[in-house]
Amino acid sequence: MHLEVKSAKETLDLLKIKHKNALITIRNNHAAAMKSKVEKLQEAEELADGLQVMFGELLNEVDAATSASKKLEKKFIKAKQRAQAAHTAYVQHKLLNDVLTNEIRDAEVSADKLEDYEEVIEYLSREIEDQQKEFDDILLFIDHCSSVESVSALETPQPKKIAKHYVPNRTGRGKHAEWLPHVDKLILEMLTNRTPPTCIQANLVAMAELLCPGMDVITELPSLKHIKNLRTALYTITKTLAAYRLANAKSWKQGHSDETSRRQTSLLNFLMSVITSDDKFKTICLDLAIISKNGTAVEQSRAVLTALRDCEVLLRDWRTKTQEMYPDRPDLLQLIPDPALIDVTRFVGVMIEHDSCNTARAFGKLFCDSIREAIAEKLTEAHVNTMVLEGDCHNHLRNVWFEHIDSDWGSLLEDHLKADLAVIPTHLRVSCRLSEILIQCDKEYNFSANYPKGHGDEFHDWLRRFHPDKHRLPIIRVSGGNRQDSSFEGALPLYDGLDEMLAFTNECLESSSNKLQRCLLITLGSVEVIAQLRCASIMYLSVIVPLRWLAGNTHKLAHRDWGERSMGRALDLLHEAFVKIRADPSLLLKETFIMNIFKPLYAQLPELKDYLNYYREEKVGNTVGSFSEADRVLAIDAAISEVFYPTKVRNRETTPFCLVLAERAATTLLVELEDPRKATHMYVSSVLGKRSQAVITNAEERATFGMRSNNDPSEGSFATLTDVLQMGGRISLASAAAIGQARYNKDMYRDIAKLVSGKRSKKVAVEEAEPLGLFHTIPEELCTSLVAMAKSRGKQTRSKFNAELLERRQSYYDKMQLEKEEQLKSAEKAQVDALYLHKQYHSPACWKTVRVARTNFAKLKSEKDKLKHVKENILIRYLGFGWVETHHPWSAKSHGTFKADELFKHLVDVVIPLADVKQVPDFAPVNLPELPDDFSLGDRSAVRKELDDKRELLKVDVRRRAKLEMERLEESGVTDGVEYMQEASWPVDRLLQENSEFKIQVCWMFQVDDGEGFVSEELKWCSGVVTSLVRDKSDKYNFVDVMIEWNDEWVQVEDERVTVQRLKRKDFNPSKPFQGAWREDLSADFEGKQI
């Protein structure tokens, strides 16, 4: 203020001199007329000088009052505003004087114009008088104040306002109102910090009122619709900033992709780990919610490539918007990277990391192949390097091993304890599987007390009462989501604290009954279960802990010549160790062996050695009821001692069964490591896996230095998405993805740690501080243009995402319809088979009684024929009648293939007797997918009846189409129903009977003329009746000669009606007709039987 007053004084002095010179010049020409006017001008100057003096005195008064108290802060803010208004008026009056002076100096004015000047000067004088009164009021106000805060308070800059401003329309005609850029930026940052849109308006008002009291900061508030629409803008902003980072990266290092399902929609993400311009390893989420057309690996690969192309488009649009808003700032365009830097050739040497499931592996292969092809097309030079690597997440690989070990141990215990399990009531849900036991313990004993029927809080209180100094390892939470190896991680706390858990449970059951507690008392009191816990604890400490550390830190070990492909060395050591354990299971219980599996790596990786030493020997834990650092003990070290050198009887007696579990674990793990269908085998040298140390080159291993050996970035980005969805209610997937991706990439991050008070010193907070989010580090103009671009694309972005979502839903629907059609086709095909089987029941092929079955089974000589006819008779009842009780597998994993005698026993003991208690259906059942429950509660409603009727009509339609298909197959000669209705062996008994009138069909070759001179040969079944036996050689030579009288349609003019025909046993009912083949004529029965 002092400088401004001084400047004003100097300006007025100069003005005074100029005025005097001008008046002298004018007085020479118009002395008489100007005399009075000059006097009035001098009086105005004197008044201005007086105002200056008064203003200086006012500042002195304020400066003298700075030592007073701060009670009237708000009043002095108003005083400041009034003083500023007065100063503004003063400056305006000075400018008027300048204008007046310039006009006087530049023109030879007439007397009329001088009269105008006189009016202006009079007006100025009145205004100065008013301002003098204003200053007098301020002085009076100060006299009544007992204290002031500080002159600096009067100089505080005004805060930005929550308001709109007018901007030109894109058409160039007219303007429209938009929120000031900083308003949108503030809302975007609040959205990123997970502030619900409905709370933002209230938060804006609260901040304005509390931080800027008495100031008119908010003129109006954004609507809820505008706030929600900014979430779509955030989706574009975070993807554009990701493209910015990707293009500016020094090099691309590793890609990560994963798939999940949210809101019943399959989502894919894609992240890139890059080396930044300052040589730091940074992971960027490019897109958190990629929606592929149908979820197949092919479409997923295409969708990720499209997401990369979108990065180019976003950068290009950003540049266009910036140039449009700041046409005179070419320097801003230079700060936005060239979209051409999103180049597929930068994938050379990049590794694509994915999960180990089949779809993920297929995606990885297809995506890498697509990238290689694109690189080869773009780089046409010979021998161009198109190396793009694939990698598997070693966390997922490890989880697969231990899931199978857990399952195998569970099966072993169930088989070993099946007698006891058969007696225990099923409603207690006693289980032998480790993962299920951990879930039960989590519900009952976890201190979080999340399960309503558990007793975690009571158990914690019980421990404080009776075991206050006991070290404790927390129960692992496995109820809300489970990693397969978490069961093994949770085994150690359970093994260590089992005595207290059992004692507490027993005490609780003495006063009340609880199913969960009854179950756990039975389970945790089992020696076999404790043995499982002990072995699982060893597996966790010796295998999971070091491999988990390696998988999580591989990208930090490039200076140790360790990379993703180096993980094969660890797996080779693991394979070698468990080969020895399979031969000698006692090695699993030997600490010096099992805890040093990865010791050969310590020289190369001292960080691994240091971590394992810390975890096993130095890591401390709390005691019961205390969180003081002074009370902490070496909890894990104590637990390890009890695992390998048990002092408790309940642990020592587990050793024999531990050896059984150790052998099974070794066998299962080796199968998992060597199985060519699993991804792990590619890293194992003993099976020459293509990524193993025995196969890869040094160059390939070096290429993976500095790369991750896990897919944690993809998992972590989905965790942010899940968090937003859980907090956001019915927030859209696109909006949730926008917030989740912005949070993962820390686009809006501010270093608040250095401002937070607490235990940690601000010095430590500064040392650990992360850089500001990219949104806050780019120039303000680029932020503004980025937000403007994102807002302009809002409708397009929403439409595109919704279109992808609808396309995916349509794909789901099409897939469902296709499955429905396939089921109908399968049902029609199965119905054709069922129709044949249903007809067979009414033919000699079916053994209706046990006696007939034994007789016919005895006639069959080969195992093949016996199996064929026994299976056929079982299927007549199972498929032809729909009697599910008759089902019997043809083979079993634990048994192998069932023999004919075993199946025949099932036929005579179970299948044939069912006809005495069940009614043979008139129609073959239609094999449509049935409803899970056909129950009804009271009377069925009209809607339910209508649905049931439609289902019955569909069955009728399937049966009709199946019948038409069967007739078509019969007419075309593809199938022959009469063939399936024949006896199991040749019917010689009936042929030898007198007057048997055995209807017979014999296959003959006929010459067929097509009417155009072309003659072809065709086999036809000719029908007749056996009238008499000519010769019987059935016992010795397996044939008989009979006299046959042929039906009229097969007798021509020159043919004899009755002939002698030799019927051989081997020619009876062949599967493929030939000249001389014969069978019983059952065509009338086949065609006449109702279907």
605: helix, strand or coil: coil
Cα–Cα distance, 591 to 642 (Å, whole number): 11
Instruction: Please report the pLDDT score of residue 1048 as a whole number.
Output: 87
- Which residue from 481, 476, 480 is spatially nearest to 536, judged by alpha carbons? 476
What region does 168 belong to: left with phi over 0, alpha with psi -120 to 50, or beta?
Answer: beta
Instruction: Please report the pLDDT score of residue 1089 as a whole number.
Output: 45
- Which residue from 1012, 975, 987 is spatially nearest to 1068, judged by alpha carbons? 987
Instruction: Please report the pLDDT score of residue 75 as a whole number.
Output: 53
Tens-digit pLDDT profile for residues 398-456: 999 999 999 999 999 999 999 999 999 999 999 999 989 999 998 898 887 778 888 88
Cα–Cα distance, 1077 to 986 (Å, whole number): 12
Alpha carbon of 159 to those of 73, 155, 162, 273, 777: distances in Å?
A: 17, 12, 10, 40, 21
Q: How far is residue 224 CA from its own chain's centroid? A: 30
User: What's the first-to-final CA gap in the chain, in angstroms?
Assistant: 108
Instruction: Please report the pLDDT score of residue 923 as a whole number.
Output: 87
Cα–Cα distance, 401 to 669 (Å, whole number): 6
Listed as ranges, residues in the chain with pLDDT below 70 are 1-157, 380-386, 478-484, 758-769, 932-933, 1011, 1085-1091
Tens-digit pLDDT profile for residues 710-739: 999 999 999 999 999 999 888 999 999 999
Strands 1078-1080 and 265-275: unpaired
Cβ atoms of 205 and 166 within 8 Å: the answer is no
Cα–Cα distance, 252 to 247 (Å, whole number): 9
